[in-house]
Amino acid sequence: MNAAIDRGRAWRLFGAPTEQRGSVNDPRTHEDFGVRWNEKWVYLGEDGRSVEQVVLWLRYDFMGAFDGEGKPLEVPAEFPAA
């Protein structure tokens, strides 16, 4: 987990998600790729069906980014701030 990655920075790094599941205030948690989350940003591939990558959040905490197969994506330690 990289606490330096807030929602605004993640949006600039990954762009707008194709789908969003859950929400920052959703009390229900789920687990994918060994990570607990309550909000999931899903980025679909060009075919509109395959999952290209996901970004997981637990409330406001960035929990990780993964490719469609669950492999963690390397996220730069620093990227443009607001």
Question: pLDDT tens digits for 51-67?
Answer: 999 999 999 999 999 99
Of 4-13, 14-23, 28-37, 49-58, the poorest mean pLDDT is in 4-13
Count: domains in the chain = 1
In a domain, 56, yes or no: yes
Q: Tell which residue, 46, 11, 77, has the closest CA to residue 57.
A: 11
pTM: 0.87
22 lies in some domain: yes
Assigned domain for 74 exists:
no
26 falls within a domain: yes
Cα 80 to Cα 9, 14, 25, 26, 55, distances in angstroms:
7, 12, 26, 28, 18
Domain hosting 32: range is 7-67
In a domain, 37, yes or no: yes
